[in-house]
Chains A and B, each alone.
Chain A
Amino acid sequence: MSAKYRALILSSPGSRGEFYFEHGLKTVGFDTEILSVSEAVDLKIDHDQLCLKYKVVVLPGGNSYASVLGGGRVLAIKIDYALGWSLQKFAERGGLVLGVGTGFQTLLHLGVFGDDYALRINENSIGEEGWIKVTPMGSRCVWLRGLGTMELPLNQIDTEFVIDPFAYVEASGRLERLGLSCLKDEKQDKILGLCDQTGRIFGMLPHPEYFLSWTNLEDWMMNPTRAAAPGQGMAIFENANHFAQ
């Protein structure tokens, strides 16, 4: 019988989807715990305790801290200064980190991918939601190992990944050279996810937690025989569990 590892879902005021993550991670075999930032501070969970206690840290999406100072930034400050966690070191010690939506922005603010990348809402944003086909690039990412093109829901279709224009050549080159795994939009070739050098920290804009079952698809009735099948988002969590084992 394989061991059960613990996954921490770190919520913050305004974050969403914690229970979907909990369901997904529990289904693939993790013990999960939802903890808000303030609880973590009160419980004095420092970096060492984080590493000892948890195998996976999930930063959910949503509207963390009302996006004051920019999406995910206050959460990043809390993680860095109030909790004193280093997610890079957590990953170096074998931990896995997933940031989705605003969680991805938090990872960018924490500088796990370097300082040359950012996310922004593009010019004609109307806050549209929808489903998008994405394809993993590169083979380093633990979370995306063995996965092909997936269809996943995206809360803010108009969000775009920006590379610092002043360091564009170096930064875009680094994406290829260092083998940072990306999740790209199939049609427009937009970057929708990024994985660090260790392959264990992964940030993505689409929400795998909202596609845990085939019935999450709007048109699942077109193919009713698959009603009991797991959604494509579940594959990402399964990868995490395989790695943990």
Chain B
Amino acid sequence: MFLRIETGFKAEFSDPEANRLQHKIAEIHPSLAEKVRWVRKLKVYWLELHAPRDKVVQAVQIAFKNPVTNWLFTGDLLPSAAGSTGTLYDLMQESPFRPGIFHGIEKRTRLQVHDEEAVVTLDALQTILGRKLPQDRVVSGEILLLEGIRLNQSDLEWIARNWFTREKFESWSLLSEDELKRNSRFQSEQVAKYLGSSHHQGASRLLQFRQNLQPAKNVQNWDHVNECFKSSMPMSEICETMVDEEWQVRAEVQFASRGLQIDTKTEVEFNLVKQQLDAVAKGCDSKLQTILSVLPDKNRLWISEVYTETQGEHPIRVRSEFEGALKRVAETTATPIVQMKCYEDPHENDPTFFWSSSVSIGEIPNAEQKTQGNLVDLLWIGFDQPPAYTNLTFVQLMKDALKHAKKGDVIDFALPTSGKTLLDVLKNSETSLLYGFDLVVDGMLDWFNTYLAKPFPISQIWGVHLEKKDWVISELRSRNIPFLHFGTSSLTGDVRVIESGVARVQLKIAEFFKKGSQSMSDDLAPEAFFVQESRLQPAKFKNRYSVEELLLKPETYHVNVPSPVVIRPKLSSWAGLMVLSDLCGVEFNAQYMEYLMRKCTALGGQIHSLQISMLNGLQDWLTTVESLKGQYGILLSQLEIKSDPEIQSHWLALQLVSKVSDVRTVRSEDFKYAQDRIYWLAGSFEEPATRWLAGIEGRYQSGLHSAVAIEGSNGTQSVIDTLIFALLKRKLGAEIKISGRLQNGFFVSVSENERFGVEEEWRTIGVEFQFVGRVTSSPFLVIRSEDDQVQTISIEDLG
């Protein structure tokens, strides 16, 4: 995202630096000083930040906004941070000589020059955003705003050259009054134009490293290539023809994806857990699943699903037994439970069916981790022509290079390609190229055509981290190892073959990795066991649209926390995981799933994988789940498929695991800050409010600090209970006025700064809302009724 930020003192404050400049001009050039009647100086920043818009806006506010003394001009990004018009016109109004004639001199640090201010600014912004990307850039500069009827261009040039800029380090340009009053200079294109074309986008980036770029000489049959890419032809196994066993690196590379499908029954913990549960809650059936690839070093996440028939016992008692069992498991395995959810179905079935799901997290000493979804450049390493020396020497060379590269952590994966065609290698690399990739064939069509059909000689394909490719290239060159940069992985979900900037072949990643003989339905229940009327509703579980933020502390057990849950696995890092769970009945359809995924994204999660468990699964579900896998390209694992004719219900449990870059930025149920405005939003499922909360419509969800669903139907009491629940965690208070009927909806809190944007969007979308009151720092809930009676509840005492 490209941004331009201008900041300067508000009109009511004088500008000491500008005044000093005016005095200097007066000392040296009195006649010119007479023409300059009024001066102002503003700082300017050109930014290129690769982050979501809402996060960038937040970062800009924190880094640049100084509401007491300064105005912030950002074009249309934060119009409220400037004066009444949001343009420099507000500042010009301060001039004692208005309407006058205004001029601007803009200076910026030259791109090749070290810009310390920009470095510090970028560091600050990246600290706020919580990550550092090499593509992010900042350039700093200044604008001098002058007023003078008699000032001409040569005067302004003199000021620019002699007093305002140092031309060796800074470039400058003159701006007319019209340009200053308009906001066109804030447009992304203008900023991008100044910052220069990005080095990290698309084909242009790839072409930089192509050594012998040649135009295509022959006409390519792209239809044939397209057909090849789409085909799900049987793929040949990788030929292990190498001369040394150490050469086989495939097992390490594919470890991450295997982790998701691991058979947990062979894990020590599984039997331990099962034993514990059996001892406490007799007759239960349990399943434990491990995800190894998501968490940072030495951590693993357990998601367990347990269900049982209560056999006439009171559900509360069964539930407490489960809690006891899980706590004991946690103690034994040193995996604190961060979430436990219980669902029960007491109406239709006898015996009552009871389902529990829990999330635990623990540390294991030797868990090898591998992150997924990294953007990498694809380098083919090997001889196109017969090698000048023996295979053995060349293999040794590559082995050394690979060892060195792995030690330096510069490659994401290394695929052996010998004896396989390009297509075979790519089709066998679903783990590494999970989210899509681009092949750029400019200048190497011959190579591309040859190895599309013919097996490679001794060679490898490396996935090189973008930021470290220079290091790899120089390393390969120094070792005289030939290489070819032929593509890059992407997050587009597409496979593309690009020639001259045009995608000649484009298909979805799922279509590319489609395998003829394997189908998910093979593993699932072939048909519905009991197709019945939709008289059974899915179990009602609390806070369907809310988020719970949990900062995991090793010594604590949090049980009975409603979902979704956000986990911070390492105390030293704010990056974490969010797990959203949902339990659906017969009415499950794609919309349900989409809802869950959109909600996950809206809350700040990057979707990683989906886990499903089924009881008496229906055929429709299989179709839906299969289509989802294809559509979104997400990892999917089945925890439990069970059929039981005794149980007359159909359940599908979904657990969506997503990565969160900073758990602090996830919106949660508790009110967070004093002075936040509390609103009531009307709506149940499928109404505008819930669609907005789920992120399906609108874009100002980031303005929300919290959202809590009103539970129960006891009228005002339910409202009060909900508010107390939201206030308890941080021991805050609130002053609210209840008028009318505030039920079937949500309470949300919005900061004062964001209110206008959020309210406007609600009006546009048609969300019914009502301002209820404010969060206060004193821990009392003060409720005013319509007849002005006041009720005060001490939150501290309740806590």
Contact = CB atoms under 8 A, between A and B. Distances in A.
Interface stretch (A53-61, A72-80, A135-143): A72-80
Contact of A118 (B69, B120, B128): B69
B799 interface: no
Interface string B43-78: 000000000000000000011101111100000000
Contacts of B9: 120
Interface string A102-133: 00000000000001111011111100000000
Contacts of A120: 9, 13, 69
A81 B130 contact: yes
Contacts of B12: 165
Given A68-B120, A77-B127, A125-B16, A118 B571 contact: no
Given A69-B121, A69-B124, A118-B68, A77 B13 contact: no
A66 interface: yes
Interface in B95-130: 116-117, 120-121, 123-124, 127-128, 130
Contacts of A68: 116-117, 120-121, 124
A172 B69 CA distance: 16
Contacts of A65: 120, 124
A163 interface: yes
A9 B14 CA distance: 35
- Which among B13, B124, B571 has the greatest number of chain A C-beta atoms within 10 A? B124
B98 to A, nearest CB: 20
A44 interface: yes
Given A84-B574, A117-B68, A74 B120 contact: yes
B19 interface: yes
Contacts of A117: 68
A123 B19 contact: yes
A17 interface: no
Contacts of A74: 120, 123-124
B13 A66 contact: no
Given A66-B117, A68-B121, A69-B121, A81 B127 contact: yes
A164 interface: yes
A162 B130 CA distance: 31
Interface string B1-16: 0000000010011101
B791 interface: no
A77 B68 contact: no
A78 B127 CA distance: 7
A70 interface: yes
Nearest to B120: A68
B556 interface: no
B572 interface: yes
Given A81-B128, A117-B68, A164-B68, A66 B116 contact: yes
A82 B664 CA distance: 12
Contacts of A116: 68
Interface residues of A, number: 28
- Which among B116, B127, B130 has the greatest number of chain A C-beta atoms within 10 A? B127
B64 A77 contact: no
A222 B89 CA distance: 57
Contacts of B70: 70
Nearest to A163: B68
A69 B16 contact: no
Interface residues of B, number: 26
A125 B63 CA distance: 25
A186 interface: no
Given A81-B130, A120-B69, A123-B19, A46 B124 contact: no
A169 B82 CA distance: 22
Nearest to A13: B120
Interface in B13-31: 13-14, 16, 19
A140 to B, nearest CB: 17
A84 B116 CA distance: 25
A46 B68 contact: no
Contacts of B13: 120, 162
Nearest to A49: B571
A208 B19 CA distance: 32
A44 B68 contact: no
Contacts of B67: 115, 164
A108 to B, nearest CB: 9
A71 to B, nearest CB: 11
Given A68-B117, A123-B14, A77 B574 contact: no
- Which among B12, B14, B67, B68 has the greatest number of chain A C-beta atoms within 10 A? B68
Interface in B120-173: 120-121, 123-124, 127-128, 130
A39 to B, nearest CB: 15
B127 A82 contact: yes
A163 B64 CA distance: 18
A115 B674 CA distance: 12
B63 A69 contact: yes
A77 B69 contact: no
A87 to B, nearest CB: 16
A68 B64 CA distance: 10
Given A69-B124, A118-B69, A46 B116 contact: no
Interface string A34-70: 0000000000101000000000000000000110111
A163 B68 CA distance: 7
A47 to B, nearest CB: 10
Contact of B66 (A118, A122, A123, A163): A118
Nearest to B19: A123
Contacts of A82: 127
Nearest to A121: B16
A141 B128 CA distance: 32
A77 B63 contact: yes
Interface in B564-587: 571-572, 574
B108 to A, nearest CB: 16
Given A84-B574, A123-B19, A162 B69 contact: yes
Contacts of B69: 118, 120, 162
A124 B117 contact: no
A116 B571 CA distance: 34
Nearest to A124: B16
Nearest to A14: B120
A70 B67 CA distance: 13
Contacts of A121: 16
A121 B571 CA distance: 41
B127 A122 contact: no
Given A46-B572, A162-B68, A73 B63 contact: yes
A81 B69 CA distance: 24
A7 to B, nearest CB: 24
A61 B320 CA distance: 57
Nearest to A68: B120
Nearest to A70: B66
A197 to B, nearest CB: 10
B665 to A, nearest CB: 11
Nearest to B118: A68
Contacts of A46: 571-572
A117 B68 CA distance: 7
Contacts of B64: 69
Contacts of B14: 122-123
A198 B67 CA distance: 25
Contacts of A78: 124, 127
25 contacts: A44-B572, A65-B120, A66-B116, A66-B117, A68-B116, A68-B117, A68-B120, A68-B124, A69-B121, A70-B70, A74-B120, A77-B63, A78-B124, A78-B127, A81-B128, A82-B127, A115-B67, A115-B68, A121-B16, A122-B14, A122-B16, A123-B14, A124-B16, A125-B16, A162-B68
Rank and list the top 7 A-B pairs by shortest CB-CB distance, nearest first. Answer: A118-B68, A68-B120, A123-B14, A164-B68, A44-B572, A74-B124, A81-B127
Interface of A: 44, 46, 65-66, 68-70, 73-74, 77-78, 81-82, 84, 115-118, 120-125, 162-165
Given A73-B66, A162-B68, 18 more contacts: A46-B571, A66-B120, A73-B124, A74-B120, A74-B123, A77-B62, A77-B124, A77-B127, A81-B127, A81-B130, A118-B69, A120-B9, A122-B14, A122-B16, A125-B16, A162-B13, A164-B68, A165-B12
